Every structure is written in structure tokens, then in C-alpha cells.
């Protein structure tokens, strides 16, 4: 989920195309680097903030009104902030957008649980909130790469009242496997697209020696 926006400069004139592309690339390199350096912390913070908001669903359906109020306030504050505070506006907007992402993540976790154990339909908010909080705690645990082991342990503890420990561990491990597969598949698809878009390397002909 990390994207960096690069601006493209169109130059017209009699200069050769290769020189124009090199000049535009060299000019945009610092911009792309600065954009990525700014974008990644904003996205990480927005994702963590949205996950913390979705943790309200741990109380069940009673947490839905609170969640709606939180995101409504974010939208309202984002519209009230002046256009000169671009970073803050971008962070608030990204947090709202990550709300949709966490809704999908939480629902996928609930569907994964249903594939292995009996899960009532009315428990979906609890599973969405449990996954969001477990992911957030795994993010804070910097000693565990990707929250490995930490997220699963937190999920087992949060779902203790709904599932047996063994079933909760199976669900947590299955969720880790599903997300890992999705990440690898998305990375492979992205790599394939980049290779197709890469321009062919021009061949250099060497004159024969006499």
C-alpha cells in the first residue's frame, strides 16, 4: 500500500528526446524522493489512526455509533482546516480513506474465521475491532517483523470469550497466511506490470575492427 506521485515535465523544442527525458528525470528525482519520504509516514499514521478508531468495535454493535462519530468529525475537521495546512489535511483525508480499508480487512478476518469455526453473524463488529487492535499492537511491537506472533497472541486473547484458545489460534494463523498470500500475489503482479512497462534497452552496434 505505498505510492509515490511523480510529476512529469513536458518539454518542447528541438532537443533530442533522450536529452529531454534525462533532464526531466534528473529534475524530478529529488521531488519523487521528497514525496515518498513525506507520503510513507502520513500513510502509516493514517492507517494506525483508522485502526485505533475501529478498535471501538470491540464492544460490539454499540461501537458502531462511536465509529461513525469519529469519522464524521475527521471529515468535518478536514473541511474546516485552511488549505495552507496541506500535510494535516492530507493526513485527515488519508485516515478517512483508510477507514474503508480497515472495514475490508476486518470483514475478511471475520470471513476467514467463518471458514474454520462457527461464528455468528452478529459478531462481525467484534472480529473487525479485534483484528484492528491486534494489528495496531503488532505495529507498535517493533521487535517483531510485521507483528509476527504478537498479532496472533493478541487475537487469541481478544477472542477468548468467543472462541476456544485452539480455535482462535487457528483463525489467527489462517488470517496471517491469507494476508501473506495476498501481499505476495500483489507484489508479483506489480513486478510483472513494471517489467512490461520498462522500455527496451537500446542495442549498441560496435563497428568491426580491421
Distance from the Cα of residue 90 to its chain's centroid: 15
Q: Residue 70 is part of which domain span?
A: 37-196
- Is residue 111 a part of any domain in this protein? yes
- Is residue 31 a part of any domain in this protein? no
- Is residue 79 a part of any domain in this protein? yes
Average pLDDT on 34-45 reads: 78
- Is residue 16 a part of any domain in this protein? no
Other CB atoms within 10 Å distance of the CB of residue 111:
14
- Is residue 32 a part of any domain in this protein? no
For 205, which DSSP code?
A: P
Triad 191, 187, 152: Cα angle to 5°: 170
Q: Per residue in 125-145, pLDDT tens?
A: 999 999 999 999 999 998 888
Helix (H) or strand (E) holding 10, with range, is none
- Is residue 55 a part of any domain in this protein? yes
Q: Are 144 and 138 in contact (CB under 8 A)?
A: yes
Q: Are 30 and 48 in contact (CB under 8 A)?
A: no
Task: Flag the least confident range among 22-26, 56-60, 85-89, 181-185.
Answer: 22-26
Q: What is the pLDDT of residue 5?
A: 33
Q: What is the pLDDT of residue 154?
A: 95
Q: Please name the residue that has the C-alpha cell 542495442.
A: 203
Q: Residue 7 — pLDDT band, cuts 50, 70, 90?
A: very low
Q: What is the spatial distance between Cα 160 and Cα 171, in angstroms, rounded to a whole number?
A: 12
- Work out the mean pLDDT of the chain and round it to a whole number: 80
Q: What is the pLDDT of residue 36?
A: 59
- Is residue 19 a part of any domain in this protein? no
Q: Per residue in 100-118, pLDDT tens?
A: 999 999 999 999 999 999 9
Phi and psi dihedrals of 195, rounded to 5? -70, -35
Domain count within the chain: 1
- Is residue 9 a part of any domain in this protein? no
Amino acid at each position: 500500500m505505498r505510492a509515490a506521485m511523480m510529476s512529469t515535465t513536458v518539454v518542447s523544442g528541438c532537443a533530442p528526446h533522450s536529452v529531454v527525458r534525462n533532464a526531466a528525470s534528473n529534475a524530478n528525482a529529488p521531488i519523487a524522493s521528497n514525496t515518498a519520504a513525506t507520503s510513507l509516514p502520513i500513510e502509516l499514521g493514517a492507517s494506525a489512526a483508522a485502526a485505533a478508531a475501529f478498535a471501538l468495535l470491540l464492544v460490539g454493535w454499540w461501537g458502531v455509533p462511536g465509529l461513525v462519530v469519529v469519522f464524521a468529525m475527521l471529515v468535518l475537521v478536514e473541511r474546516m482546516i485552511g488549505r495552507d495546512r496541506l500535510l494535516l489535511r492530507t493526513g485527515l483525508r488519508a485516515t478517512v480513506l483508510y477507514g474503508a480499508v480497515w472495514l475490508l480487512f476486518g470483514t475478511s478476518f471475520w470471513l476467514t474465521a467463518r471458514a474454520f469455526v462457527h461464528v455468528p453473524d452478529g459478531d462481525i463488529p467484534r472480529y473487525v475491532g479485534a483484528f484492528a487492535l491486534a494489528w495496531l499492537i503488532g505495529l507498535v511491537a517493533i521487535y517483531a517483523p510485521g507483528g509476527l506472533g504478537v498479532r496472533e497472541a493478541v487475537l487469541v486473547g481478544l477472542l477468548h470469550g468467543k472462541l476456544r484458545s485452539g480455535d482462535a489460534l487457528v483463525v489467527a494463523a489462517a488470517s496471517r497466511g491469507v494476508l501473506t498470500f495476498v501481499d505476495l500475489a500483489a507484489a508479483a503482479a506489480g513486478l510483472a506490470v513494471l517489467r512490461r512497462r520498462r522500455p527496451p534497452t537500446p542495442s549498441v552496434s560496435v563497428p568491426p575492427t580491421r
